[in-house]
Structure 1
Amino acid sequence: MKTIGYAAGSATSPLAPFDFERRALRPNDVAMEVLYSGVCHSDLHQARNDWGWSQYPLVPGHEIVGRVIAVGSDVKKHAVGDAVAVGCMVDSCQDCDQCRKGLEQLCRKGNVQTYSDTDRFSCEPTSPTYGGYSKHLVAREEFVLRVPEGLDLSKAAPLLCAGITTYSPLRTWGVGPGSRVGVIGLGGLGHMAVKLAAALGADVTAISRTKDKEADALALGADRLLVSSDPEAMAQAASGMDLIIDTVPVKHDINPYLPLLDIDGTLVIVGQIGPLTEPSTVPLLLGRRRIAGSPIGGIAQTQEMLDFCAKTGVLPDVEMIRMDQINAAFARLEKADVRYRFVIDMASLAAPAA
């Protein structure tokens, strides 16, 4: 299938139109026209090779909402015309203990990422994966999700990363009514963590360095804003949280936040991939507190999250852009100048040449 997308040719080049071919449908494949693609901070990191494993040409995009246009002969779950979605992974071994438990994100052999990865579980010759900044996508049925009725397609795309990345630890640590949850950072991930924790019935504290985000935090569903640069406020909040979701996507100091946890509390890192300022073990030992990490969720949990959002009306706050505005959007993303997630209207991308 001939298609078109936007790709980075190197770590220093801007994204530009890129013609390429999607694979022919295998029996268990679903082909879709991409309608909307979310812009994740990971897309910027990958385009710039900040993590050191980017493969070029690189077509970003792992927050994908589309419409089925064709299915393979063995596909049972999806039909032409269905509204569907694809997130951060498009394959896994399907056979290890983690895959059998529905934890494909923790596949022992490594899941296949939606872009900047290799289609290594195929019986065909291996090939690179290209993401959702494109007109079409092909993925195996097991990794294509159903978009529930009532979920706004134009806003749903960021749920496939920002949504599940924050929903998964909330569910893993059993958040519900009576839980006390803190959220560090109010960007794309953080605003979803606040919305989802509130929808699950938790008491939610948004944590920010400045007070100017208080109105936004309350509007998102937080019960209060805690200013982390205020020593008195931080001291008063000590031991007041069961779970803290840390969404900051760059190296930072987590030490000020550890005393906020109650005994047996957990700080879960979902934003930064890489080094942190060295943590002190004192609050960990004295309060039996924990530092943990969490990636995305598995396919079943991602479907659960989509259904939950449709039921509760939880959606990200988005700014719609055209495909040709992506480089300007990346520049704004570096400055945290977005409230709270860019979504690309893929109708703005020209159809591929015949």
Structure 2
Amino acid sequence: MKNRKVMFMSPLQVQTVEEEYVPGGLGDNEISVKLIYSLISPGTEQAMLAGTESWAQLPLCPGYASVSRVLEAGQGVKDFKPGDVVFHYGSHCEYQTVEVRDVVLKVPDGLNLKWVPFTRMATVAFTSLRVSNIELGDKVSVTGLGLVGNLAAQLARLQGATVIGVDLSKERLRTASQCGVNYTLEAGSGVKEKLMEITRGNGVSSHIEATGVPQVAVESLQYIGSEGEIILLGSPRGVFNTNVTDVLNYSHLANFGCITFKGAHEWRYPTEPDRFVKHSLVRNSLIVFDLMQRQQLQIEPLISHVIKPEQAADAYQGLRTDKDRYNGVLFDWSAEGEAR
């Protein structure tokens, strides 16, 4: 049996390879699965592909979010059986073994399988809401309307906020409007003035920074009103030289300042529900399933490409150089004519 997988061979070099797959013995808490769809995480995977992440040594098989069918279950596995369709944090590898103690969830009946991998992106976005003070009636801005930023904006709106999305890409702004984001502003000169007009001169009470670009985070401080907060959802990458005293003084003094900085990394919450901790990755993911089923969270507009893994090199090239057209890219691992 052939096992296809996407490999980052060296910086900016992507190959889809085939190797012989020989099923091995499963551990008590493991399942073997076959991918149906896997989703590229543009930010994390592009950083890995660039060779700039010390924790991701090339060559490697990347991956972030998957929906798969269970082939076999270990003796200690009680919640999954062969034939079940599951969401998991999988790699772009057609056949793989998954530890069920990680995030592995049975997919609800009737849920569009192309939407399922986006659960990971929405769960990442959820962290920005969990750490925030966003309440009904608040004004919230989001910089960066890629997958995570768009979903964070949608979730903030569901939490009762009026949401202002900011991005350089006209196509991402159009997609955000299609997903129900209240206002969309093209990044550049005049954004602050437009934002202040929307907020009647008060600024936003919460700002979610989803680009991961340090300069954007610093420049976003001017959008935030007194006693507001900036939430760092995108992992900061790259170099930006500035006078940190000016940043701190602005946060401390401007308009009586008191701007709070909050980190919103996905892993700040436990994986499994805990009686002493309200939020967890599993709980957030189950809520995302429910929001998708009730079509309160819009996923279809985020899907830009559904392609075969053999087209992986083109996909990563598009995500790097053609961000207007490439956004949500799914690998379809089905064989020709295979029913799902």
Q: Give the Å deviation of 1:207.
A: 1.5
Q: Which residue of 2 aligns with 1:195?
A: 154
Alignment of 1:66-215 (within 5 A): 66-87=68-89, 131-143=90-102, 144-160=104-120, 162-209=121-168, 214-215=173-174
**5+ residue gaps, structure 2:** 268-280
Q: Which residue of 1 aligns with 2:228?
A: 265
| Structure 2 Cα separation of the partners of residues 268 and 345 of structure 1 | 34
Checking the alignment, whether the CA contact within 8 Å between 2:195 and 2:203 is kept in structure 1 is no
The C-alpha deviation readout for 1:141-177, integer Å capped at 9, x for no partner, is 12212222332111221221x2111112112325453
Q: Give the Å deviation of 1:250.
A: 4.0
Q: Give the Å deviation of 1:227.
A: 4.1
Which of 279, 293, 309 pairs up with 1:323? 309
Cα distance, 1:339–1:204 mapped onto 2, change above 3 Å: farther
Q: Which residue of 2 aligns with 1:232?
A: 193
Checking the alignment, whether the CA contact within 8 Å between 1:323 and 1:348 is kept in structure 2 is no
Cα distance, 1:347–1:249 mapped onto 2, change above 3 Å: farther
Which of 200, 207, 210 pairs up with 1:244? 207
Sequence identity percentage: 22
Name the amino acid aligned to 2:258. Answer: R
Aligned length: 307
| Structure 2 Cα separation of the partners of residues 261 and 276 of structure 1 | 23
Q: TM-score, normalised by structure 2?
A: 0.80
The C-alpha deviation readout for 1:104-155, integer Å capped at 9, x for no partner, is xxxxxxxxxxxxxxxxxxxxxxxxxxx5211122222122122223321112
| Structure 1 Cα separation of the partners of residues 169 and 117 of structure 2 | 29
Cα distance, 1:147–1:207 mapped onto 2, change above 3 Å: same
Name the amino acid aligned to 1:291. Answer: F
Checking the alignment, whether the CA contact within 8 Å between 2:212 and 2:237 is kept in structure 1 is no
| Structure 2 Cα separation of the partners of residues 284 and 210 of structure 1 | 28
Alignment of 1:269-284 (within 5 A): 269-275=232-238, 277=240, 278=242, 280-284=247-251
Name the amino acid aligned to 2:158. Answer: A
Name the amino acid aligned to 1:29. Answer: E
Q: Which residue of 2 aligns with 1:51?
A: 53
Q: TM-score, normalised by structure 1?
A: 0.77
Q: Which residue of 2 aligns with 1:105?
A: none
Cα distance, 1:215–1:46 mapped onto 2, change above 3 Å: closer
| Structure 1 Cα separation of the partners of residues 195 and 35 of structure 2 | 45
Q: Give the Å deviation of 1:296.
A: 1.8
| Structure 2 Cα separation of the partners of residues 174 and 233 of structure 1 | 23
Cα distance, 1:256–1:8 mapped onto 2, change above 3 Å: closer
Q: Please, what is the CA RMSD of the aligned residues?
A: 2.8
Name the amino acid aligned to 1:271. Answer: G
| Structure 2 Cα separation of the partners of residues 12 and 178 of structure 1 | 44
| Structure 2 Cα separation of the partners of residues 273 and 194 of structure 1 | 19
| Structure 1 Cα separation of the partners of residues 228 and 292 of structure 2 | 26
